[in-house]
Amino acid sequence: MKKHNNKLRIFAAIFIILIVLVGVFPAAKVTARSSLYSFTGRISGGLFSFGTNIRQKFSFIGNIGRLRSENERLADMLNEFQVDSSRIAELENENKLLKQELGFFQLDQQEVLVPAKIIQREPVSFLDNFLIDKGSSEGIVKNMAVISHSILVGQIDEVYEHSSRVVLITSKDSVIQAMLQDSRAKGILRGGLSGLFLENIVSDAEYKDGENIITSGLGGELKQGILIGKADKAGSSGTGLFKTVAVEPLVDLTKLEIVFVQK
């Protein structure tokens, strides 16, 4: 800017001198006029060049602003696309899980299954309980069976309007009437830190390693015949009149995402 201002002052001074010379020396009028035209042409050219530079600078600044706005708009569109893609992928995954679950069921006409999504798990009680997104508004009541792949994983313990708490079979608070499927020996299934066990089995009951453990139907809370796990003779023990059978769960309870409530 300083350089341009200095040039303008010099041109103005020369312009004034030329006017004076023309008035004093008429003979120099023609020459002065030519010089004046040349001089004013230079001034015009300089001013035009200066104005063009200014316009280009402002145009460049405006383009930067437009480019920034366009980049922000494209970034927002990309984020929306990624969110939508993530939602679609999650819906496809959920649909796949539901199809896998339903493939295991052969229901009688009066049996109803309510699909439910696990919405909360406490780190401290990870193998004790979890919260599902179905409650009294969907007809859920206390003690209903909760299953995955047609295998018992727990029971409804507390019911709210739009959610329910499930106690897992591995919880110390879980007590289920169960039996050995082949020998028909009945007992009480209990969980805890030491594992899952079928207790109070009569000592003379014979059973095979890997024999199915199912619900016995006693007590009326759960229907008979729901698969729970398999007997593990290596972890079993016996004292006096009764023995305890170690039970190996057939479902990885830590990986559950969707379950079914059996009404």
- Yes or no: say if 111 and 222 are a contact pair by the CB < 8 Å rule: no
My answer on whether 188 and 215 are in the same domain is yes
Q: Kindly state whether residue 108 falls inside one of the protein's structural domains.
A: no
| Whether residue 41 has pLDDT greater than 80 | no
Q: Closest Cα to residue 209, out of 229, 227, 233?
A: 233
Per the model's pLDDT, the better-predicted residue between 26 and 192 turns out to be 192
**Per residue in 89-112, pLDDT tens?**
656 666 666 665 555 555 454 578
Query: pTM for the full model?
Result: 0.61
Rounded Cα distance between 164 and 205, Å, is 38
| Whether residue 113 has pLDDT greater than 50 | yes
Signed CA dihedral, 15, 20, 23, 27: sign only = negative
Rounded Cα distance between 258 and 93, Å, is 11
- The DSSP annotation for 20-51 comes to HHHHH-GGGHHHHHHHHHHHHHHHHHHHHHHH
Q: In terms of residue numbers, what domain contains 117?
A: 113-262
**Which of these three, 77, 103, 129, is where a domain ends?**
103
**pLDDT confidence of 14, banded at 50, 70, 90?**
low
Counted domains in the chain: 2
**pLDDT confidence of 122, banded at 50, 70, 90?**
confident
My answer on whether 86 and 126 are in the same domain is no
Rounded Cα distance between 18 and 103, Å, is 103
Q: Is 186 helix (H, G, I), strand (E, B) or coil?
A: strand
**Which of these three, 40, 69, 103, is where a domain ends?**
103
